[in-house]
Amino acid sequence: MYPTTDATVPATAWPALLSLLQEGLTRPAFSPNELESLRSEVAASLVADIDEDDWLAELGLRRTLFGPDHPLGRDPRGTPGSIANVDRADVLRYHHRHFSSKGTQVVIGGGFDTLALRDIQGLLDALPAPQGGSRTSTSLAPPGAESTARGPSVFFIHKPGLSQATVALGHRTGALPPEKHATYQTMNDAFAGWNSGALLNHEIRESRGWTYYVGGELNLESPDRWWSAEMAPNQEVAIAACSLALALHREVADGRLADARIERCREARRRSAPFLADTIGKRVDQALQKATTGWDSQAVSAALSTRTLDEVRELATEFYRPQNLHLTIVGDADSLLEQARTLGDVTLSTPEALLGFPEPKS
């Protein structure tokens, strides 16, 4: 995980943007009045997210995969209690710790001249040296954490009266070596990509009409990486959709990802590659992703055709193991909880408990 700052302005407004960046990165005021306003805004967003089922499902899955003490298992905004206790000194310490000269990546694109590069170098030179020790991009998980939580398991977030469930499913992956990135991309496109040819999409959405959407991808924001997929089935078929997703994991783990499906999805990815970098904004995003995560989208696209069907299938067999899978369901437990127990061990929660709101007094 890493903090980012981005902006889009006309090239003629570069001096004004540079001035704002210099102020924000090197001498922020952090006015107490503005801090109080921001604190109220963040607290209000937590209240609003009680009704954001997509976010509840994602956070519930990450809580299951990483645990409540890992940064990825917590809401990055904090809880109502922790937000109320943040003061200006806390914000300053965070700024000094993370907005430093060590590891900072800057990507700029558009109609700039070479003087802009000089401006960027000046901005980097003005950043303070890191405080609190050296920061490196390493796993935050304890040794063996990948194998401590065996699945399938279900984290069920109870919301009475829902007609549509929201499901997130996924597993920890560990690091993928760069030489396997193109194999992974092809494998995921064939199994869980956001396209009609992907196995999950074809079986759950296209063939049965059980969900409005379904798709998955590798999450790259942290060295502690994970794969996740999302779907939004009707309550009446939610458990059937989850059961089918588990069955499809077993099918792929048994080496039955079809050649024709792999080839079809690989060709779709190859044809779409030019559109992934056809604007300055997309190329900037890709350059930042490469610098911060090591994932090089252009190199992956160029290497797609070099991966054999057996390589793709072999990686899928290792990657999509049902015993590593965990599910989060946001739905009405009164009608779904007993069915959910057929999927695996169930932990019951509520949106308020997941987001850290105090338990109501009885």
Exposed / middle / buried, residue 66 (Cβ in 10 Å: 0-12, 13-18, 19+): buried
| Residue 157, strand partner residues | 330, 349
pLDDT tens-digit profile of 140-160? 443 334 434 567 999 999 999
CA 19, distance to chain mean position in Å, is 32
Give me the pLDDT at residue 130, please.
Answer: 66
- Contact between 293 and 31 under an 8 Å Cβ cutoff? The reply is no
- At residue 229, φ and ψ (nearest 5 deg) are -135, 155
Cα radius of gyration rounded to whole Å, the chain: 23
pTM confidence score: 0.89
- The answer to whether the bond into 178 is cis (omega within 30° of 0) is no
Superfamily of domain 148-355 in CATH is Metalloenzyme, LuxS/M16 peptidase-like (3.30.830.10)
User: What H or E segment, with its residue span, contains residue 302?
Assistant: helix 297-303
Q: What is the pLDDT of residue 137?
A: 40
Provide CATH 3.30.830.10 ranges for the chain.
Answer: 148-355
**Which amino acid does the sequence have at 333?**
A
d(C-alpha 78, C-alpha 355), whole Å: 8
- The CA distance from 14 to 329, in Å, is 46
Rounded Cα–Cα distance for residues 226 and 151 (Å): 15
Please report, in tens digits, the pLDDT of each residue of the chain (362 residues total).
Answer: 667 888 898 988 989 999 998 888 888 899 999 999 999 999 999 999 999 999 999 999 999 999 999 989 999 999 999 999 999 999 999 888 877 767 788 888 888 778 888 888 888 888 877 665 444 443 444 333 443 456 799 999 999 999 999 999 999 988 788 999 999 999 999 999 999 999 999 999 999 999 999 999 988 866 778 999 999 999 999 999 999 999 999 999 999 999 999 999 999 999 998 998 899 999 999 998 898 888 999 999 999 999 999 999 999 999 999 999 999 999 999 999 999 999 999 999 999 999 999 876 65
pLDDT of residue 144: 37
Element (H, E) at 157: strand 153-158
Evaluate whether 195 touches 188 at the Cβ level (below 8 Å).
Answer: no
State in Å, rounded, how far the first CA of the chain is from the last one: 39
Whether 183 and 318 have beta carbons less than 8 Å apart is answered as: no
Predicted confidence at residue 124, as pLDDT, reads 84
pLDDT of residue 95: 86
Helices 181-192/309-319 angle, 10° precision = 70
How far CA 241 is from CA of 134, 184, 227, in Å, comes to 46, 24, 18
Alpha-helical (H) ranges within 179-258 are 181-192, 199-200, 238-253
Predicted pLDDT of residue 140:
41
Which pLDDT score is estimated for 142? 38
Beta bridge partners of 347: 155
Question: What pLDDT does 115 receive?
Answer: 85
